[in-house]
């Protein structure tokens, strides 16, 4: 069938349905009382056929698509009734359009996963061995023994249990947070349907069988169904078939649509036949569910699944293949098979910040392992030398207890050294920030994106709707004579232009008068809405024109896309066909060969005249920041239809009707937001499809390019068109020349007339560049389907919540719900706050680690024992880390965050300032603790005769307790210091802006008093005197004073010394 015949057949089919169902409501009234004639199972079997066989099967079984609609009690023109009872009836009969997501892990399962952590397994073994030895010793000692040997083993076990509970609670909260975010994303996903003849947007989960869906470029098909009407409808079915080539869909050749596939071009109407678990993606999910539920017969079930998938795979193009199906128990993606972009997303999930944390955690763990091994080895060696070498004692069974205790101490040091509180701190601050970011119009889809924004150095932003209001108005118009300004006067000669605008625009685009105020509501494409509003303002009636020319009467539609930069519609007229075209002014004007003057006369257009129009009209409008749109047409006379698939021939030799200048005002808050970005060291680049002069003018208004630009500024603020950019950075083989790109991107500020491929090239080039010292971290905004590759490639992808397509939203990390650039600035602030809060916690915890490890090793070498026992150290690791992370993770952001330069990709997580604070406080605490250990007995007149090597059941040491207590008190006061990571003077500034902090700090001190005074043998503590508490508090407050001393130490002394030397050389 030739293309023209196929189009005519498709449109004739719609016209026939229209005539048979002029009043869809009458059809519904006729059948509402009847039950549905077709079951869900029958519809599922129909949709398992190859796409090209579905239409024939419908005609064989039901007679026609109209008869199928009648059986489903719907209208192919007006859809179903909008009544809630009718929607509910269909949901009850055919099921909801919901596929259950994976159930979150239970709290018990999360506890089990925590128990399997390697370090905790070692502690669990140590607790069991300690308890077994205690029981053995008690058995040997007899019934009269009052040994307390079992207390330490039990205390270790309880400590492990509490750590497991905290870890499980942390993961449980994280899972719940993820569910909340996913639910929010699902609620935002809506689709346009026709009910009662009116187009309405409904949540995807409210879609029912019989609904008439309107699909457009960028949509994700929400259910399975049939194409009733299409205009160059092209789908990406790779998520189901694995085939990367686009698939054309129409009512005759291949009319089957599957949920989860992407509309990459064109538009169409779909009759919904299967929803939720009855769709083919739902069938896959059910099969995966069978595998998970029937583990006992896993092999058999996997074979069965393969057979069932093989049955679904009808052919490689229109069926579903089993390639990449995820059958693991922990599948997170029930809707689609796991594909290449899913793998890319998993790789991306390890953010710049998380990579730094992983590297640092590994180094800390390695250091902790070395220190723990050294401590245990030294204690055991000293015990053996003293016990068996010097004192010549024989081997006793009780000696195993001492050796085990030394091992436990080493394990405890290892557990304490590993920053186990770090994941908790990261999770808490991410959860806290994600919740707050929702209020700032940032819907976080992937939590890692929050922290990555703290490192962002570059933002590649769209123009329309992000930097501008996306509220477009025609302010200038040219009809072949001179540029006219709003308000415009009506003219009979303009009627052909009105017709061209009304017909050659998406019929979903409309201007609805507002019930409140004078501002009409623009629905659909905003550029088209501006043109339609112009038609209405000069007395035209675009609705009447559309009624006279319904969509089903169109002969051919070449839909707008990023490569065409135009839209063309062909209609039938007496004696032939009429072609309407509108699009980017310079592109459409280049296809014009004649000009219609304002008086209605036609004149030929020479190249010289076209160049003059381009300069005097298009450039003039664009220089004022206006988007320029050219409207043109031509008539094809004859009876033999041309080849409408030859677009180049059809859309050529046009007559220019008008050129419009459309204003899209810059959002009033954008210039200030961009200024804040620049102050924060973040470079903003505009990437737009608009004319280069329009883009330059808007960039000046936004502040991306300086207003009073000098030659030097021009050199720093480069403006390029996409084509020129490609010619400069892409070699003859089509590969990006990184060296050439590195010469351009640092100066590039505006990329105009760019394609999504240009955008991807720019983003990839900046990310891969090594010009910057700390490497660039790139954020990208996008709203179109073709922006998806750039959104995925970027470190953080922002999709527009209002103007963005479903595909763009799915590819993004954060959705800006108000499409406002200032929301991105807030995301930067929250990202830096996350970075700072985690850095604060690291400063806090690593100081404890330095002090504890130093004291443990030095004490082990000198006295063969450590004052920091297993249970007290578990207490520090458990309570201090948990409460400390909670206190620091909830610190709110401040404007000062935007006064610093970004961290970039390679800058160290621990800055010189933080390192100085950690080392300085660590030394202070270590010296204090060692002085108490060695000088304490004499000062406090407390002499405790203790054997080398700790003996289980021995009464707790008061000096050891004082060492432990002083460590905790100094740590508590150092928590206040930890809030300062940028050399701030006032450590108390803003301390009450986060109420969690003073409350948790007080709780830490109270619990410490209870542990010391009541803990006894269980915590290896002895009650302290008032004087000892005074000493602990004295040194705790001393850590605040010591911080002020540390502040005076030069951070960059080498640089200063070099500078001074240079001054001396110059002076000599």
| CATH number for the domain harbouring residue 77 | 2.70.150.10
Single out the residue of 440, 481, 568, 521 nearest to residue 828, CA to CA.
Answer: 440
- The total of other beta-carbon atoms located within 10 Å of residue 615's CB is 10
**Mean pLDDT of the region 421-442:** 79
Final residue of a structural domain among 625, 654, 683: 654
Decide if 683 is inside a domain: yes
92 and 8 fall within a common domain: yes
User: DSSP strand E in 664-755: where?
Assistant: 683-687, 718-721, 748-752
Which pLDDT does position 178 carry in this prediction?
A: 66
- Is 1026's pLDDT higher than 50? yes
- 312 or 512, greater pLDDT: 512
Q: Do 474 and 533 contact (CB within 8 A), yes or no?
A: yes
| Kind plus residue range of the DSSP H or E element containing 680 | none
- Is 1066's pLDDT higher than 50? no
CB burial readout 617-629, b (16+ within 10 A) else e: bbbbbbeebbbbb
Which pLDDT does position 416 carry in this prediction?
A: 65
Single out the residue of 421, 417, 385 nearest to residue 857, CA to CA.
Answer: 417
Domain holding 960, by residue range, is 352-417+844-1053
Q: What is the CATH number of the domain that holds 986?
A: 1.20.1110.10
**Mean pLDDT of the region 496-521:** 83
128 and 175 fall within a common domain: yes
Most confident of 288-292, 360-364, 692-696: 692-696
| Kind plus residue range of the DSSP H or E element containing 712 | helix 711-716
Which pLDDT does position 516 carry in this prediction?
A: 55
Q: Which of 606-615, 761-770, 962-971, 1017-1026 has the lowest mean pLDDT?
A: 1017-1026
Q: What angle do CA 206, 211, 215 make, to 5 degrees?
A: 90
- The total of other beta-carbon atoms located within 10 Å of residue 603's CB is 12
896 and 968 fall within a common domain: yes
Which pLDDT does position 558 carry in this prediction?
A: 92
Which pLDDT does position 794 carry in this prediction?
A: 93
- 122 or 604, greater pLDDT: 604
507 and 649 fall within a common domain: yes
Final residue of a structural domain among 256, 289, 312: 312
Distances (CA, A) of 555 to 4, 416, 609: 8, 74, 32
272 and 306 fall within a common domain: yes
956: DSSP letter = P
- Is 112's pLDDT higher than 50? yes
**Mean pLDDT of the region 901-923:** 88
What length does the chain have? 1068
β-sheet bridge partners, residue 567: 582
Phi, psi values for residue 1038, rounded to 5°: -60, -30
Which pLDDT does position 308 carry in this prediction?
A: 39
1046 and 958 fall within a common domain: yes
Most confident of 172-176, 348-352, 485-489: 485-489
Q: Do 599 and 492 contact (CB within 8 A), yes or no?
A: no
The percent of residues above 70 in pLDDT, for the chain, comes to 80
Decide if 723 is inside a domain: yes
Per-residue pLDDT tens over the stretch 53-110: 888 899 898 988 889 999 999 999 889 998 888 999 999 999 999 877 667 788 888 8
Single out the residue of 379, 378, 360, 374 nearest to residue 418, CA to CA.
Answer: 360
- 860 or 765, greater pLDDT: 765
- 816 or 417, greater pLDDT: 816
β-sheet bridge partners, residue 270: 213, 227
Per-residue pLDDT tens over the stretch 627-672: 999 999 999 999 899 999 899 999 999 999 999 999 999 999 999 9
- 27 or 957, greater pLDDT: 957
Which pLDDT does position 142 carry in this prediction?
A: 57
Final residue of a structural domain among 632, 654, 676: 654
**Mean pLDDT of the region 416-429:** 70
Which pLDDT does position 155 carry in this prediction?
A: 67
- Is 682's pLDDT higher than 50? yes
Angstrom distance (rounded) from CA 13 to CA 66: 9
Per-residue pLDDT tens over the stretch 705-728: 987 654 445 567 899 999 999 999
Q: Which residues are catalytic?
A: 462
Angstrom distance (rounded) from CA 995 to CA 990: 10
**Mean pLDDT of the region 492-505:** 88
Mutual angle of helices 958-977 and 1026-1047, in 10-degree steps:
40
Decide if 1061 is inside a domain: no
Per-residue pLDDT tens over the stretch 851-907: 988 888 888 778 877 788 777 877 777 666 678 878 888 888 888 889 888 887 777
CB burial readout 295-305, b (16+ within 10 A) else e: eeeeeebeeeb
Single out the residue of 980, 825, 1003, 986 nearest to residue 888, CA to CA.
Answer: 980
Which pLDDT does position 491 carry in this prediction?
A: 72
Instruction: Supply the mean pLDDT for the chain.
Output: 81
Which pLDDT does position 809 carry in this prediction?
A: 84
- 146 or 653, greater pLDDT: 653
Which pLDDT does position 603 carry in this prediction?
A: 92
Q: What is the CATH number of the domain that holds 576?
A: 3.40.1110.10
821 and 884 fall within a common domain: no
Q: Do 388 and 399 contact (CB within 8 A), yes or no?
A: no
Decide if 663 is inside a domain: no
Per-residue pLDDT tens over the stretch 729-759: 988 887 889 999 999 999 999 999 888 889 9
Which pLDDT does position 990 carry in this prediction?
A: 87
The secondary structure of 52-106, three-state, reads: HHHHHHHHHHHCCHHHHHHHCCCECCCEECCCHHHHHHHHHHHCCCCCCCCCCCC
Q: Do 414 and 372 contact (CB within 8 A), yes or no?
A: yes
Q: How confident is the model at residue 518 (pLDDT cuts 50, 70, 90)?
A: low
629 and 755 fall within a common domain: no
- The total of other beta-carbon atoms located within 10 Å of residue 281's CB is 25
| Kind plus residue range of the DSSP H or E element containing 843 | helix 821-863
Which residues have a Cβ under 8 Å from the Cβ of 584 and sit 6 or more positions away?
565, 566, 628, 629, 630, 689, 691, 753
Q: What is the CATH number of the domain that holds 695?
A: 3.40.50.1000
Per-residue pLDDT tens over the stretch 457-471: 999 998 888 898 888
Phi, psi values for residue 720, rounded to 5°: -130, 155
Decide if 473 is inside a domain: no
637 and 707 fall within a common domain: no
Q: Strands 718-721 and 683-687, how do they pair?
A: unpaired
Per-residue pLDDT tens over the stretch 936-968: 998 998 876 554 444 444 567 899 999 999 999
Distances (CA, A) of 881 to 367, 404, 415, 977, 1000: 19, 26, 12, 15, 12
Single out the residue of 573, 556, 571 nearest to residue 5, CA to CA.
Answer: 556
β-sheet bridge partners, residue 637: 576
Q: Do 631 and 501 contact (CB within 8 A), yes or no?
A: yes
What's the total number of domains in the chain? 5
Angstrom distance (rounded) from CA 489 to CA 481: 14
Angstrom distance (rounded) from CA 934 to CA 963: 10
Decide if 425 is inside a domain: no
Which pLDDT does position 27 carry in this prediction?
A: 44
Q: Do 364 and 370 contact (CB within 8 A), yes or no?
A: no
Which residues have a Cβ under 8 Å from the Cβ of 456 and sit 6 or more positions away?
682, 777, 778, 779, 795, 796, 828, 831, 902
**Mean pLDDT of the region 822-851:** 89
Which pLDDT does position 123 carry in this prediction?
A: 67
Which pLDDT does position 658 carry in this prediction?
A: 94
Q: Which of 513-517, 677-681, 741-745, 910-914 has the lowest mean pLDDT?
A: 513-517
Phi, psi values for residue 658, rounded to 5°: -165, 155
Decide if 795 is inside a domain: yes
Which pLDDT does position 517 carry in this prediction?
A: 55
Q: Which of 265-274, 612-621, 879-888 has the lowest mean pLDDT?
A: 879-888
Which pLDDT does position 920 carry in this prediction?
A: 95
In the three-class reduction of DSSP (H, G, I as helix; E, B as strand; rest coil), residue 954 is classed as: coil
Q: Strands 796-800 and 778-782, how do they pair?
A: parallel
Q: How confident is the model at residue 908 (pLDDT cuts 50, 70, 90)?
A: confident
Q: How confident is the model at residue 316 (pLDDT cuts 50, 70, 90)?
A: very low
Which pLDDT does position 660 carry in this prediction?
A: 96
Which pLDDT does position 223 carry in this prediction?
A: 93
Radius of gyration (C-alpha) of the chain in whole angstroms: 36
- The total of other beta-carbon atoms located within 10 Å of residue 477's CB is 22
932 and 1041 fall within a common domain: yes
The percent of residues above 90 in pLDDT, for the chain, comes to 34
90 and 111 fall within a common domain: no
Phi, psi values for residue 781, rounded to 5°: -110, 150
Which pLDDT does position 461 carry in this prediction?
A: 92
Phi-psi region of 324 (alpha: psi -120 to 50; beta: other; left: phi over 0): left
575: DSSP letter = T
Which residues have a Cβ under 8 Å from the Cβ of 1032 and sit 6 or more positions away?
962, 965, 966, 969, 970, 1024
976 and 905 fall within a common domain: yes
Angstrom distance (rounded) from CA 692 to CA 73: 53
Decide if 429 is inside a domain: no
Per-residue pLDDT tens over the stretch 179-204: 776 677 677 678 889 999 888 889 89
| Kind plus residue range of the DSSP H or E element containing 289 | helix 280-293
Which pLDDT does position 261 carry in this prediction?
A: 87
In the three-class reduction of DSSP (H, G, I as helix; E, B as strand; rest coil), residue 852 is classed as: helix
């Amino acid at each position: 069938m030739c293309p023209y015949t196929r189009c005519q057949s498709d449109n004739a089919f719609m016209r026939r349905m229209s005539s048979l169902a002029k009043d869809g409501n009458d059809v519904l009234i006729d059948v509402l009382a009847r039950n549905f004639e077709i079951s869900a199972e029958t519809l599922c079997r129909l949709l398992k056929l190859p796409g090209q066989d579905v239409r024939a099967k419908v005609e064989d079984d039901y007679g026609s698509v109209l008869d199928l609609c009648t059986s489903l009690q719907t209208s192919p023109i007006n859809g179903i009734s909008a009544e809630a009872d009718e929607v509910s009836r269909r949901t009850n009969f055919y099921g909801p359009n919901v596929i259950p997501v994976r159930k979150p892990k239970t709290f018990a399962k999360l506890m089990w996963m925590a128990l399997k952590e390697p370090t905790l397994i070692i502690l669990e073994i140590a607790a069991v061995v300690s308890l077994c030895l205690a029981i053995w010793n008690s058995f040997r000692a007899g019934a009269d023994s009052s040994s307390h040997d079992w207390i330490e083993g039990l205390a270790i076990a309880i400590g492990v249990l509490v750590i497991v509970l905290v870890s499980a609670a942390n993961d449980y909260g994280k899972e719940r947070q993820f569910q909340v975010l996913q639910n929010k994303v699902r609620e935002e996903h809506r689709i346009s349907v026709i009910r009662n003849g009116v187009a309405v947007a409904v949540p995807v989960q409210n879609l029912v069988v019989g609904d008439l869906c309107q699909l457009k470029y960028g949509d994700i098909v929400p259910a399975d169904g049939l194409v009733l009407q299409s205009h160059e409808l092209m789908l990406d079915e790779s998520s189901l078939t694995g085939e990367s080539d686009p698939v054309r869909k129409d009512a005759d050749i291949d009319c089957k649509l599957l949920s989860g596939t992407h509309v990459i071009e064109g538009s169409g109407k779909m009759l919904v036949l299967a929803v939720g678990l009855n769709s083919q993606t739902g069938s896959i999910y059910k099969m995966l569910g069978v595998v998970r539920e029937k583990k006992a017969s896993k092999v058999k079930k996997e074979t069965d699944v393969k057979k069932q998938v093989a049955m679904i795979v009808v052919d490689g193009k229109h069926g579903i293949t089993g390639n990449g199906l995820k059958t693991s128990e922990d599948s997170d993606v029930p809707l689609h098979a796991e594909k290449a972009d899913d793998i890319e997303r998993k790789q991306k999930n390890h953010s710049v910040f998380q990579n730094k944390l992983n590297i640092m955690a590994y180094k800390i763990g390695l250091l902790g392992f070395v220190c723990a091994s050294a401590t245990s080895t030294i204690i055991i060696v000293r015990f053996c030398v003293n016990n068996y070498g010097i004192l010549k004692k024989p081997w006793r069974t009780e000696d195993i207890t001492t050796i085990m205790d030394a091992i436990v101490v080493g394990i405890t040091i290892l557990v304490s050294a590993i920053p186990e509180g770090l994941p908790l701190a990261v999770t808490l601050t991410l959860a806290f920030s994600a919740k707050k970011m929702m209020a700032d119009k940032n819907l976080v889809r992937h939590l890692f994106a929050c922290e990555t924004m703290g490192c962002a150095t570059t933002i590649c932003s769209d123009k329309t709707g992000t930097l501008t209001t996306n509220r477009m108005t025609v302010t200038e118009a040219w009809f072949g004579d001179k540029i006219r300004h709003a308000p415009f006067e009506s003219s009979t000669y303009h009627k052909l232009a009105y017709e061209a605008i009304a017909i050659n625009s998406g019929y979903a685009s409309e201007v609805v008068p507002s019930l409140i105020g004078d501002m009409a509501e623009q629905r659909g494409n905003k550029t088209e809405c501006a043109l339609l509003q112009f038609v209405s303002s000069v007395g035209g009636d675009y609705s009447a024109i559309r009624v006279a020319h319904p969509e089903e009467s169109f002969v051919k539609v070449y839909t707008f896309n990023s490569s065409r930069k135009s839209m063309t519609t062909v209609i039938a007229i007496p004696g032939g066909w009429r072609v309407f075209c509108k699009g980017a002014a310079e592109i459409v004007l280049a296809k014009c060969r004649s000009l219609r003057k304002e008086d209605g006369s036609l004149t030929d257009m020479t190249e010289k005249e076209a160049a003059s129009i381009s300069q005097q009209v298009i450039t003039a409008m664009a220089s004022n920041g206006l988007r320029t749109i050219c409207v043109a047409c031509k008539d094809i006379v004859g009876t033999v239809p041309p080849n409408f698939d030859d677009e180049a021939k059809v859309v050529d030799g046009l007559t220019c009707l008008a050129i419009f200048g459309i204003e899209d005002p810059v959002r009033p808050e954008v210039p200030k937001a961009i200024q804040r970005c620049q102050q924060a060291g973040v470079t903003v680049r505009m990437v737009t499809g608009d004319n280069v002069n329009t883009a330059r003018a808007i960039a000046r208004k936004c502040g991306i390019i300086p207003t009073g630009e000098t030659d030097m500024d021009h050199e720093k603020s480069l403006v390029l068109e996409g084509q020129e950019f490609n010619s400069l950075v892409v070699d003859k083989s089509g590969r990006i020349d990184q060296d050439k790109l590195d010469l351009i991107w640092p100066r590039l500020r505006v990329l105009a007339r760019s394609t999504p491929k240009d955008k991807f090239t720019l983003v990839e080039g900046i990310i891969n560049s090594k010009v910057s010292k700390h490497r660039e971290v790139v954020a990208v905004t996008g709203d179109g389907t073709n922006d998806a590759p750039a959104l995925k490639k970027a470190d953080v992808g922002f999709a527009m919540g209002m103007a963005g397509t479903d595909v763009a939203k799915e590819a993004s990390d954060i959705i800006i719900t108000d499409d406002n650039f200032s929301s991105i600035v807030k995301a930067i602030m929250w990202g830096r706050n996350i970075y700072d809060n985690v850095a604060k916690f690291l400063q806090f915890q690593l100081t404890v680690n330095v002090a504890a490890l130093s004291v443990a090793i030095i004490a082990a070498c000198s006295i063969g024992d450590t004052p920091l026992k297993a249970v007290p150290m578990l207490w520090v690791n458990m309570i201090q880390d948990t409460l400390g992370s909670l206190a620091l993770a909830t610190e709110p952001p401040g404007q000062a965050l935007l006064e610093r330069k970004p961290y970039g990709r390679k800058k160290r997580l621990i800055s010189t300032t933080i390192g100085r604070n950690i080392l300085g406080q660590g030394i202070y605490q270590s010296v204090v603790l060692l002085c108490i250990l060695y000088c304490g007995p004499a000062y406090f007149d407390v002499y405790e005769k203790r054997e080398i090597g700790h003996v289980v059941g021995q009464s707790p040491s008061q000096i050891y307790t004082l060492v432990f207590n002083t460590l905790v008190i100094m740590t508590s006061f150092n928590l206040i210091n930890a809030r300062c990571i940028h050399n701030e003077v006032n450590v108390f500034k803003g301390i009450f802006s986060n109420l969690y902090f003073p409350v948790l700090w007080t709780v830490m001190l109270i619990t410490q008093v209870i542990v010391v005074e009541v803990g006894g043998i269980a915590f290896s503590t002895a009650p302290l005197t008032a004087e000892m508490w005074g000493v602990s508090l004295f040194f705790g407050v001393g850590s605040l004073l010591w911080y002020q001393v540390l502040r005076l130490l030069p951070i960059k002394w080498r640089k200063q010394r070099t500078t001074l030397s240079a001054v001396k050389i110059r002076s000599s």
